[in-house]
Amino acid sequence: KRPKKSYKSDVFYKAGSSDEDKYEYEIGWIYIIEEERENGYGGMLMDSISNYLSNNSSSKACFGTVRENNTGMQRLFAKHGFSKVGHSYNSTRGEYSLVLYVPYV
């Protein structure tokens, strides 16, 4: 998705990072039903996103937020060239913390 500047600024501020202008897109809410997990579908989605961004050189990179306790998604981000930046912060949508992921620099 292409988030509003105010949302993006808020996410990066809460995570303790000031690089939000480098990122135009956000990877959000990749959800694979439990019985289909570990079949590579998340990786296929991440590959499609990466291919799109690399083939559209005018596009800025994307960032993503992941629940702090979602280790599977954190591994998927890491496997596809993302790293955690800043620190975790409380979500405004529930009682959980989020972490910010951006492509390796």
CATH fold group of domain 5-103: Aminopeptidase (3.40.630)
- pLDDT tens-digit series, residues 4-45: 999 999 999 999 998 899 998 999 888 899 999 899 999 999
pLDDT for 13? 97
Enumerate the domain spans of the chain: 5-103
Q: Write out the DSSP string of 23-87.
A: EEEEE------GGGTTSSHHHHHHHHHHHHHHH-TTS-EEEEEEETT-HHHHHHHHHTTEEEEEE
